[in-house]
């Protein structure tokens, strides 16, 4: 068990580290704005927040904007986005009208984008008009529908923790959510979906939104340099902030597996890996990475053929997921072969 004091100290160090990081980022944007005092703690739908004429004006401004829209790293080529900093009229309206009206505790706009998901460009799974699961680098995110949901199929904002998709019906409806909640842009499968997304932060970040992401990055770096004990402490810190982050659970399972393999051959860390991996597959039931690490953990703790058979099942499900590349497929097949041989081995030793 990781001592609580250690976790606490890491938390404080992280708070300072992250405050610096986010303040540096928000210094680059549009400056300080006066706002109200209402806290943002959960998702909230704000029907009719913006009027339809404004939505049309924003779309028109994007359409006539040259040079071509900038590229946002979260999205594939099937999602086009334009930074609001390239849209003078929309920027003025957002800063002087919408942002003050939202009355959040945020005192800065970190960034804002107009996104355009077009189903036409979606030829393959990897090129869907979607965004992967992520956190936004901010405290609160406002997402404004710029066109009606009747103009497209699919789409909406998916929240990982409860696997719900929020779809806004009318142009001008909005969704306000804490930026640290892991979410994705669900695939638009027909037509075109337009949204304005604005990321709001606080300059004095006392209630920092994004510890889990920063801890996760530090855990990853610690694991890369072979500092497995620290990697595990950092995973624990991140999980203390967000126990339902699937990618983090995968990472924690990998670190525990590494410790078991490299240093501590006892069942302790293997059991821990299995615990994290099982939780990861609950949060991300269709993730090849989660299923793979679960298969490995299940295999390495298997004492009976039924346990090893469960590893084979998980690996089969991983092999059935969409969007695998050749290397992932080969690694999964290899683990599956070992699992199949382990089932046979355990059956043999038992029958003797
Ligand atoms: O399409 C959506 O609703 C989500 C967009 C989003 O999460 C983002 O741009 O950060
Ligand atoms: Fe987002």
The residue with greater pLDDT, 338 or 12, is: 338
Q: Which of 80-89, 128-137, 298-307, 312-321 has the lowest mean pLDDT?
A: 128-137
Separation between Cα atoms, residue 130 and residue 132, nearest integer Å: 7
CA of 148 to the centre of ligand 2 (A): 20
Decide which of 133, 166, 201 is a domain's last residue. 201
Q: Which of 59-73, 230-244, 264-278, 287-301 has the lowest mean pLDDT?
A: 59-73
> Averaged over 135-148, what is the pLDDT?
87
pLDDT of 142 over the 80 cut = yes
Q: Are strands 131-134 and 164-166 parallel, antiparallel or unpaired?
A: unpaired
pLDDT of 73 over the 50 cut = no
The closest-lying atom of ligand 1 relative to the alpha carbon of residue 157 is: 3
Please tell me the predicted confidence (pLDDT) of residue 107.
74
At residue 201, φ and ψ (nearest 5 deg) are: -130, 175
The contacts of residue 250 (CB under 8 Å, 6+ apart) are 276, 277, 280, 284, 287, 289, 290, 293
Q: Which helix (DSSP H) or strand (DSSP E) does residue 11 occupy?
A: helix 4-27
Closest CA to 72 of 84, 59, 56: 84
At residue 39 the predicted structure's pLDDT band, cuts being 50, 70 and 90, is very low
pLDDT of 90 over the 90 cut = yes
CA of 145 to the centre of ligand 2 (A): 14
Mutation pick for ligand 1 pocket among 180, 185, 209 (CB with most ligand atoms within 8 Å): 185
pLDDT of 11 over the 70 cut = no
Torsion sign (Cα): 242, 107, 44, 160: negative
Q: State yes or no: cis peptide before 67, omega within 30 of 0.
A: yes
Please tell me the predicted confidence (pLDDT) of residue 67.
54
Mutation pick for ligand 1 pocket among 74, 128, 197, 210 (CB with most ligand atoms within 8 Å): 197
DSSP 8-state secondary structure symbol assigned to residue 126: G
pLDDT of 209 over the 80 cut = no
Separation between Cα atoms, residue 256 and residue 26, nearest integer Å: 36
Give the residue whose CA is nearest to atom 5 of ligand 1: 185
Please tell me the predicted confidence (pLDDT) of residue 53.
97
Residues 253 and 188 in one domain: no
ipTM, 2 dp: 0.98
Q: Is residue 81 within 8 Å of residue 113, measured between CB atoms?
A: yes
Q: Which listed ligand is nearest to 146 at the C-alpha? A: 1
Give the residue whose CA is nearest to atom 4 of ligand 1: 185
Domains held by the chain: number: 2
- Domain holding 339, by residue range, is 244-351
CA of 135 to the centre of ligand 2 (A): 6
Q: Tokens at residue 74, please?
A: 């979260």
Closest CA to 233 of 219, 217, 220: 219
The residue with greater pLDDT, 103 or 157, is: 157
pLDDT of 42 over the 70 cut = no
The answer to the question of residue 123 being in a domain is yes
Residues 266 and 159 in one domain: no
The answer to the question of residue 263 being in a domain is yes
pLDDT of 54 over the 50 cut = yes
The answer to the question of residue 10 being in a domain is no
CATH number for the domain harbouring residue 343: 1.25.40
The answer to the question of residue 92 being in a domain is yes
Give the residue whose CA is nearest to atom 9 of ligand 1: 197
Residue 295's alpha-carbon distances to 40, 106, 228, 248, 310, in angstroms, are: 39, 43, 21, 17, 8
Question: pLDDT above 90 covers what percent of the chain?
Answer: 46
The residue with greater pLDDT, 79 or 1, is: 79
Q: Which helix (DSSP H) or strand (DSSP E) does residue 18 occupy?
A: helix 4-27
CA of 136 to the centre of ligand 2 (A): 5
Q: Which listed ligand is nearest to 145 at the C-alpha? A: 1
Closest CA to 121 of 60, 173, 58, 76: 76
């Amino acid at each position: 068990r990781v001592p609580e004091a250690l976790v606490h100290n890491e938390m404080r160090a992280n708070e300072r580290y992250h405050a610096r990081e986010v303040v540096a980022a928000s210094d680059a944007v549009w400056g300080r704005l006066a706002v109200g005092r209402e806290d943002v703690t959960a998702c909230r739908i704000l029907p009719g927040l913006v009027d339809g004429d404004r939505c049309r004006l924003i779309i028109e401004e994007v359409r006539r904007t040259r040079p071509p829209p900038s590229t946002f790293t979260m999205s594939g080529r099937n999602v086009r986005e334009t930074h609001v900093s390239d849209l003078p009229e929309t920027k003025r309206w957002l800063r002087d009208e919408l942002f003050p009206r939202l009355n959040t505790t945020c005192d800065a706009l970190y960034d804002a984008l107009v996104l355009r998901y077009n189903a036409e460009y979606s030829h393959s799974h990897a090129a869907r008009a979607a965004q992967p699961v992520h956190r936004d680098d901010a405290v609160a995110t406002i997402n404004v529908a710029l066109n009606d949901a009747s103009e497209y199929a699919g789409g909406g904002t998916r929240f990982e923790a409860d696997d719900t998709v929020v779809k806004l019906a009318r142009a001008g409806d909005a969704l306000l959510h804490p930026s640290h909640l892991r979410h994705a842009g669900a695939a638009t499968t027909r037509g075109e979906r337009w949204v304005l997304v604005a990321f709001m932060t606080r300059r004095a970040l006392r209630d920092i939104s994004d510890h889990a992401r920063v801890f996760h990055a530090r855990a990853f770096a610690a694991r890369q340099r072979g500092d497995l004990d620290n990697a595990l402490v950092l995973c624990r810190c991140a999980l203390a902030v967000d126990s339902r982050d699937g990618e983090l659970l995968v990472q924690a399972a990998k670190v525990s597996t590494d410790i078991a393999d490299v240093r501590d051959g006892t069942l302790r860390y293997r059991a821990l890996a299995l615990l994290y991996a099982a939780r990861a597959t609950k949060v991300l039931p269709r993730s090849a990475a989660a299923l793979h690490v679960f298969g490995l953990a299940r295999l390495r703790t298997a004492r009976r053929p039924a346990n090893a058979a469960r590893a084979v099942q998980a690996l089969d499900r991983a092999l059935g997921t969409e969007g695998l590349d050749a290397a992932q497929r080969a690694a999964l097949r290899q683990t599956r072969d070992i699992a199949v041989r382990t089932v046979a081995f355990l059956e043999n030793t038992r029958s003797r």
